[in-house]
Structure 1
Amino acid sequence: MVPDDVARLVADVFEAAGTLRRLGETTARAEGLTQARWQVLSVVSEQPVTVARAARRLGVSRQNVQRVANDLTALRLAAYVPNPDHRSSPLLTLTPRGEEALTRVTERAAALHHALFATLPEEEIRATRASLRRLLDETDGREGTRGKR
């Protein structure tokens, strides 16, 4: 591969990420959320987790997730519950209202994604994803990437 091709691929990945992030923000806004709130709801939907654990999963600062978690609890979309393993670090969990919000935004996003990718052959989507996963595996553990995924 020509070095310019690599630089162009990196630029395309950043452009795609930015475009998808903006679409995600629009999708979340349509359901009264922000993308950050959506992401935190999604992380805690699997099981209650500490704010620190949610931050590690999302690859962002604990302080950022703490702010979002506090917003979610104020909106009654999430709640803090006691952590049996650590008294001073409660677990964040979804409320029924949060589960409904997450379901709505996830369904809206799925419909948008299906529409966006409807013209691409499934084999091409799978091949692109496989290439991206290999790239992520290659970068895993490199300086500045450890713990981000």
Structure 2
Amino acid sequence: MSVGPQLALLIESACKRLVLESLFRVDQQDYAGLTALFTEQARLYRPTAGGHPLVGRQAIFDAYAQRPGERISRHLCSNQRVDIDTAKRARVHSYAQVFSALADSREEVSALPQVQSPVMIGEFEDICVLEQGSWLIAERRARFVMQLAN
């Protein structure tokens, strides 16, 4: 099924925004906000989980809530490509660089935290679906493809 050009632009914009919003929520440690962007029975394949997905919002929330609170991360996302399957389903492929550091717990920080090695470069493959007027992630496959050398 093909969609018209105007609808295609709307779908592409909504799906790109959804992926970027999910990465922003991770970086802000807003895991409730993150999981709200997934369908109730979403599957999330993380690069460190050996091909075993997290299934459902609660499992996704629980996994992210275990991250150390002092860990800062920033995802830089680019090269987003949206393939529209139907008016209610699209696939988004994105590249991402992932930086992380440990936050300094002092109120006044004299120096910014140092980025930890390695800096990872990865990909996201998201299946986005339209449910009750909102675009949500039904499946995310995240993988690392390389890392920056020290």
TM range (shorter): under 0.3
Bigger Rg, structure 1 or 2: 1
Normalization by structure 2: what TM-score? 0.28
More strand by share: 2
More helix by share: 1
Normalization by structure 1: what TM-score? 0.28
